[in-house]
Amino acid sequence: MNLNQEIARRRTFAIISHPDAGKTTLTEKLLLYGGAILLAGSVKARRAERSATSDWMKIEQERGISVTSTVLQFEYEGFRVNLLDTPGHQDFGEDTYRTLMAADAAIMLLDGGKGVEPVTEKLYAVCKMRQIPVFTFINKMDRPALEPLQLHDEIRAKLGLENTPFNWPIGNGPAFCGVVNRFSKEVTLFERQEAGSKEALARSASLDDPAVESRIGIEGIQKIREELQMLETMTLPLDLELVMSGQLSPVFFGSAVTNFGVEELLRAFLSMAPPPGPRQSDQGPIDPSSPFFSGFVFKTQANMDPRHRDRIAFIRVCSGKFEGGMETLNARSQKTVRLSNPKEFFGRERGTISEGYAGDVLGIMNQGQLQIGDSLSAGKVVRFPGIPRFSPEHFCILRCAPSARKAFNKGLDELLQEGAVQGLRDPAASGNDMILGAVGPLQFEVMQYRLKNEYRSDTSMDSMPYKIARWVSGSSEDLAALKGASTVRLVEDMNGHTVGLFRDIWSMESVVKNNPKLVFSPIAPTG
Ligand code: G4P
């Protein structure tokens, strides 16, 4: 296969959802189709196994949440699928946000009984910012669910996202009979299996098929026909151009746990979702099929396996072909980085890969030379825009004993580079105390735990009352005027940008209103 064919068959995406909507379950079922795992349950089993290889993962195990994200790769009907697995718990939002910077599309998973939930809203905001296509899967239709039109309206109202059904559910909960494809009008019947079996039987037939009639009756068929008619007037046609630009989301209904509707989702997603496209850079858009290798680091992870005390940088390939051992230039540091022993990840397991193409993700051993947002290229120097930092929602002050300052600084420096927690300093305050900000407070615990276990640094922590951070830019006079405001605390991020901390939305809004010449952004300037 040549370079263009390899790139054309790649699909790189992430699943966004609120915790408990069924992301692990859906991931597992998708992997089953790719033959990547033989038994459903393996992803969860791996989640449990992790604790054997990493001490600090104990926190994850105790809380029953997934802390780190990995990349899952599989083949399906000629496609090479890269599923960027994102931490599901709301405490790990920023890591998830960053992973979305490496995805070309997203599957937005909603619990049919709950609709659009808060974490989904936050993650969708990043997809919207990036204008990537979003495909919606409404899960748990085997349980009582909201009316499909209500879900349709909620997606529009809460996310501002136009959406249109690809298939349409026939009932829900105990009365769930299956889905009807809006375009082919083919019905896929949902048949519960006997107790003990989780998988549902799925049988496809036309609306006129006697099997459909015997399952849902003549009245049921009439109702479906009316509903399909109604959809034509009440919802938009499936305009692929709008889907590609992220303005229209095709909606699928199903039940991941019973594996119902998952293959239809996968097939339709792969046929509609885009292959890797051009990426903006300081050299203009870089076409994925450009002959030279380029990529950027979207995540780094220290000490994934404490036996090796290594650090891994995850690189999204943007153009050309990657070959093991190749030399690249880091545009930030201007240093040569040899990409030796690149790793391919499946959960916690690692295999070595010898080649990769635009859309793929490589894990490279990193001794600190690579940072989030770094651009790497071979043959031509390219800089991709940096990875933005997103507003933390929890803040604390971290202190250490003066005697342990050296280990503390080293640990802090390395862990902050991973980006799960942001470091902030108050230039007006004395001492070396560090203000930490995170999207979820559990990250502070993880930080403290890792400082102690990996860097032998005991710390104490006091939470702070702030809830919102905004990066503030404007003239030095306007910024100076802001310093007097009592409702904002001004600090600096690690790049020296001014950040305003607020206790609540109202104090933020009043400060924004009273300082019209300043720009307040929920996303950090890159660089
Ligand atoms: P998450 O990764 O998004 O947090 O969710 P996860 O897949 O772990 O699923 C959360 C719960 O929802 C699980 O139940 C799972 O079995 C259930 N679930 C997922 N998809 C469906 C579905 O389509 N229908 C129904 N009825 N349930 C679904 P649990 O009791 O927490 O765990 P377990 O049953 O796997 O032990």
pLDDT exceeding 90 applies to what percent of the chain? 53
Beta bridge partners of 17: 109
Residue 518, pLDDT > 60, answer yes
Mean per-residue pLDDT, 355-379? 88
Q: How far is the CA of 96 from the centre of ligand 1 (A)?
A: 20
Mean per-residue pLDDT, 394-415? 88
Q: What angle do CA 391, 366, 100 make, to 5 degrees?
A: 35
- Which of 85-89, 128-132, 221-225, 289-293 is least confident? 85-89
The whole-number pLDDT of residue 31 equals: 83
Residue 33 pLDDT class (50, 70, 90 cuts): confident
Q: How far is the CA of 119 from the centre of ligand 1 (A)?
A: 17
**Which distant-in-sequence residues (6+ apart) come within 8 Å of 511 by Cβ?**
482, 485, 487, 488, 500, 502, 520
Provide the mean pLDDT of the chain. 85
The pLDDT tens digits of the residues spanning 37-84 come to 444 344 554 444 433 333 344 544 444 333 344 677 888 999 999 998
How far is the C-alpha of 125 from the C-alpha of 122, rounded, in Å? Answer: 5
The whole-number pLDDT of residue 348 equals: 45
Nearest atom in ligand 1 to 258's CA: 23
**Which distant-in-sequence residues (6+ apart) come within 8 Å of 440 by Cβ?**
89, 90, 91, 92, 93, 393, 394
Q: Is 38 exposed, middle or buried (0-12, 13-18, 19+ CB in 10 A)?
A: exposed
Q: How far is the CA of 144 from the centre of ligand 1 (A)?
A: 14
The pLDDT tens digits of the residues spanning 319-354 come to 999 888 899 999 999 999 988 766 655 444 455 666
Nearest atom in ligand 1 to 28's CA: 7
Q: Ranked by mean pLDDT, which of 146-155, 295-304, 410-419, 476-485 comes out on top?
A: 146-155
Q: How far is the CA of 257 from the centre of ligand 1 (A)?
A: 7
Nearest atom in ligand 1 to 260's CA: 23
Measured in Å, how far apart are the chain's first and last C-alpha atoms?
38
Q: How far is the CA of 20 from the centre of ligand 1 (A)?
A: 6
The pLDDT tens digits of the residues spanning 156-180 come to 999 999 999 999 999 999 999 999 9
Question: What is the DSSP code string of 285-316?
Answer: PBPTT-SS-EEEEEEEEE-SSTTTT-EEEEEE
The answer to whether 57 and 50 are in contact (CB under 8 A) is: yes
The whole-number pLDDT of residue 1 equals: 83
Question: What is the DSSP code string of 25-72?
Answer: HHHHHHHHHTTS-SSTTHHHHHHHHHHHH-TTHHHHHHHT---S--EE
For 322, the 3-state DSSP assignment is strand
The protein residue with its alpha carbon nearest to ligand 1, atom 24, reads: 140
Q: How far is the CA of 40 from the centre of ligand 1 (A)?
A: 12
| CA 217 distance to own-chain centroid | 42
The pLDDT tens digits of the residues spanning 1-27 come to 899 999 999 999 999 999 899 988 898
The whole-number pLDDT of residue 329 equals: 96
Sheet order of strands, 71-76 included: 71-76, 79-84, 10-17, 105-111, 134-139, 248-253, 162-165
HEC-encoded secondary structure of 394-441 = EEEEEEECHHHHHHHHHHHHHHHHHCCEEEEECCCCCCCCEEEEECCC
Mean per-residue pLDDT, 296-324? 78
Torsion of CA 63, 64, 67, 69, to 10 degrees: -170
Q: What angle do CA 278, 284, 289 make, to 5 degrees?
A: 35
- Check residue 457 and report its DSSP letter: -
Residue 387, pLDDT > 90, answer no
The whole-number pLDDT of residue 87 equals: 62
The answer to whether 385 and 428 are in contact (CB under 8 A) is: no
How far is the C-alpha of 38 from the C-alpha of 480, rounded, in Å? Answer: 62
Q: Is 363 exposed, middle or buried (0-12, 13-18, 19+ CB in 10 A)?
A: buried
The whole-number pLDDT of residue 366 equals: 78
The whole-number pLDDT of residue 61 equals: 46
Question: What is the DSSP code string of 60-83?
Answer: HHHHT---S--EEEEEETTEEEEE
The protein residue with its alpha carbon nearest to ligand 1, atom 25, reads: 140
- Which of 96-100, 127-131, 263-267 is least confident? 96-100
Q: How far is the CA of 47 from the centre of ligand 1 (A)?
A: 15
Residue 379 pLDDT class (50, 70, 90 cuts): confident
Nearest atom in ligand 1 to 255's CA: 23
Beta bridge partners of 421: 438
Nearest atom in ligand 1 to 21's CA: 3
Q: How far is the CA of 22 from the centre of ligand 1 (A)?
A: 5
Q: Best mutation site among 69, 257, 260, 265 for ligand 1, i.e. most ligand atoms within 8 A of its Cβ?
A: 257
Q: How far is the CA of 344 from the centre of ligand 1 (A)?
A: 27
| The two three-digit tokens of residue 416, written as one number | 């902050």
The protein residue with its alpha carbon nearest to ligand 1, atom 34, reads: 257
Q: How far is the CA of 81 from the centre of ligand 1 (A)?
A: 23
Beta bridge partners of 490: 500
How far is the C-alpha of 521 from the C-alpha of 213, rounded, in Å? Answer: 56
| The two three-digit tokens of residue 89, written as one number | 């718990």
Q: Best mutation site among 25, 199, 252, 259 for ligand 1, i.e. most ligand atoms within 8 A of its Cβ?
A: 25
The answer to whether 383 and 282 are in contact (CB under 8 A) is: yes
The protein residue with its alpha carbon nearest to ligand 1, atom 30, reads: 20
The answer to whether 515 and 478 are in contact (CB under 8 A) is: yes
| Residue 333 backbone dihedrals phi, psi, to 5 degrees | -90, -10
Beta bridge partners of 202: 190
**Which distant-in-sequence residues (6+ apart) come within 8 Å of 39 by Cβ?**
none
Q: How far is the CA of 24 from the centre of ligand 1 (A)?
A: 8
- Which residue did the predictor score with more confidence, 95 or 492? 492
Nearest atom in ligand 1 to 19's CA: 4
The whole-number pLDDT of residue 81 equals: 92
The protein residue with its alpha carbon nearest to ligand 1, atom 28, reads: 257
The whole-number pLDDT of residue 445 equals: 85
Single-letter residue type at 345 = F
Residues at CB less than 6 angstroms from ligand 1: 17, 19-25, 88, 139-140, 142-143, 255-257
The protein residue with its alpha carbon nearest to ligand 1, atom 6, reads: 22
The protein residue with its alpha carbon nearest to ligand 1, atom 22, reads: 140
The pLDDT tens digits of the residues spanning 471-515 come to 999 999 999 888 878 899 999 998 899 999 999 999 999 999 999
